[in-house]
Structure 1
Amino acid sequence: MDWILILISGKVKKHVMRGKYSFGGGRSYRVGLPPLLILPSWRVQKVQCFGNWSRNDSKVIGDNRGSMVVKAASEGGAISLPKHWPLSKIQHPAINNNKVHNFLLKSQDPEEKLQDPVPRMKGSSRFFTVGLVASWYSSNIGVLLLNKYLLSNYGFKYPIFLTMCHMTACSLFSYVAIAWMKVVPLQTIRSRVQFFKISALSLIFCVSVVFGNVSLRYLPVSFNQAIGATTPFFTAVFAYLMTFKREAWLTYLTLVPVVTGVIIASGGEPSFHLFGFIICVAATAARALKSVLQGILLSSEGEKLNSMNLLLYMAPMAVVFLLPATLIMEENVVGITLALARDDSKIIWYLLFNSALAYFVNLTNFLVTKHTSALTLQVLGNAKGAVAVVVSILIFRNPVSVTGMMGYTLTVFGVILYSDAKKRTK
């Protein structure tokens, strides 16, 4: 059984079904500009695309069917295939006709209509997503707690060197994941201008990570997380200052409890340290600035990079920035680390494991983003901060006050309101 679908100038002119089964169910409608053809739920073994259509341009759209769109690189049309179809091969021979695009879909079984596999796969897919979220939580909270242990409890007082170890691991693991394991397609830097833009982002990224690690020397993890929850406030401020982008008044109003909660938590924090507080606020602001600048600098379609490719290029640049900083500001840190290792070899394993976790934070964040919705990610992110606070208190036994916890709760509540307001105003 063969299906031949002919799309002319991006619009469905006719579809031809060869075989004993009727086509049925096919319909054309618009989502934005490109027209989409939704097909019945059949398994597809092979897809041959004639014309300048590319699998690399595919992306998930948010319709009710959860379809995978194979989109023309230069033409306006699109064909929508259910994302659970196991596409084993996609070919696009050099037959370029700007008006006609032929799609040959061959079923896995020429004589039998296969059932929609979604119900059977739903349980395993849910289990996979839960595993991803658990890995994301574990790596995020793990690297945070281990940073705190090394920089505060263990007495390894070299946050710049620790950050450089993180970036070195991210450089190596990113190359292995993209160049060898093909986790995501490799995206290249296309111009010198794009290179300098990524360098600027890398420098701000370094500042945010180093300052965050420095703050852990002076502040408990619970208070660190409370301050970090104010990232939406700084993002809104920088977005307004740099792009003059105004949000709805309701959105700005939700930022009031975000800031108020941190003020209350600061007043009720038994382990408050002014320098640590200032550095942590600076780290939070730097993270927000990097997010805003990334949207500005890499806004064109030709310059956009997914988070894994961006890390591939930013991490080595960060090492270049951090190496002279650690040599100047943390003199003889390598010799001191080796001396510590002679007395306690566990420090080497701590550093290696901590650096590997730093990469998996980015990897699992990318995978969770890919396999969940934006709303789910926001909810999980807010919950992750609360889990980190509880776990850190249980492990480090740092003193907490009712006032401090009320302030942190108010901040998280404000972040949830902010996310909901942003969603409503879009």
Structure 2
Amino acid sequence: MHSTSLAAGKKSRSVRTMLAGLAFASMTALAGPAFAADATTIRVLNWEPGGADYWKALVAEFEKQNPDIKVELETVPFDRYPEVQGPYITTKSGPDVMENNAGLELFDRRRAYAELPPEVLEAGKDLITYSGGCLNFDTSKSCYGLPFGYQGNVMYYNKKVLTEAGLDAANPPRTWDEMGAACEKVKAIGKTCIAIGLSGIFPAYWNFPEIARNYLTEDDMRAMLAGKMPWTDPKMVNVLKGLASITEKGWTNSSAPSITMLPDGADIFQSGNAAFAGTIISDAVNWAAFGKVLGDENLGAMRWPTIVADAPLANSFSGIESSVFGVTDWSDKKDAAFKFVKFIAGKENAELLTKIAGGISLNKNVDPSVLPKSQALSQILEIIKTPTLHAGVLLSGQEADALARGWQEVALGRLSIEDWTARMQKALEQSPSKRQ
């Protein structure tokens, strides 16, 4: 009886020990998600500049350095970005961090952003420039975001198509007349000369600055920023005429008025069906992306051909910081969000941008020798040595929209230059950011 009770007691203790162990294991299993739930999750609205692989690496590195912060991305196509971002700004809800292009696009939306505190702006000291995130491009004034890369426009060309058309691929067109002659030969082999899409914001950012350099000085551009350069000025009218001539001369794909440059126009170029495409030096439609598809040996980069060869800025580069990231005014996770913005401008992210996305970093501490080898990139690095202001980012949202919509209608023969000019002037007058 006693031995039986002892055995029963031992068995009972064994069961209790096992149950206790199972309970501890269960609590431990539950503790994992509980601890993860303690991490701060920030939402980042973006259009994935640099591509998916770069952003995957960016988030992984940030979370590694900040294990108490998790990043949730909301990625939308660039051409749909305003329609997604707009309701968030109107309702003052949604993401903790948002992306915008430097310049007036950001300034127009600055009430949606928290001003960057000094400890975050410290990261700006390692950048070549960050003024595009600061009001009126002045770093002594309020700043609402930090950039991570250098941006600007070039024209890419497919050497294989030029050779097929009987052109000298080593000497692409340098003037408007030379471009016209080249386009006739390209069209003769059944291909598009300049791949382009006129829907969305792209004409304002990628095409307008390259025509504007032929007619405007830097003082003119600063007057544009201040709203003191009327579209009725002969210089501005000439810019519109220059844009219109691209489609009027038949240099582009017939679908231009109905498609966007990204992805549609870029797809025409990288499919090998166009000789030229005007895009950007960084992000997703750059030399790295085109070279990967076309073959680096077939890709070249050049300045846009000049219309007025002796214009002071005709042979300059329209340069600007790439998009900037800022913290939303309504975020209740500002400390974590500011850490992300600071990381965006840091050396670790700059190296990821360079190595993975082929972007040209603004961070002074990145060794330029880590840039990949590419002939098109080498050409770009020469082009950017003579920068000027980027006229596109000096346009208000109203002007950028009127520019794209007007060009679409001009290309379809539904709008005159005079009426386009009047629309642009009305857009200027209705722009809040230029009436301050």
TM-score bucket (shorter structure):
under 0.3
- Relative to the length of structure 1, the TM-score reads 0.25
**Higher relative contact order at CA 8 Å, sep ≥6: structure 1 or structure 2?**
2
Question: Which of 1 and 2 has greater Rg?
Answer: 2
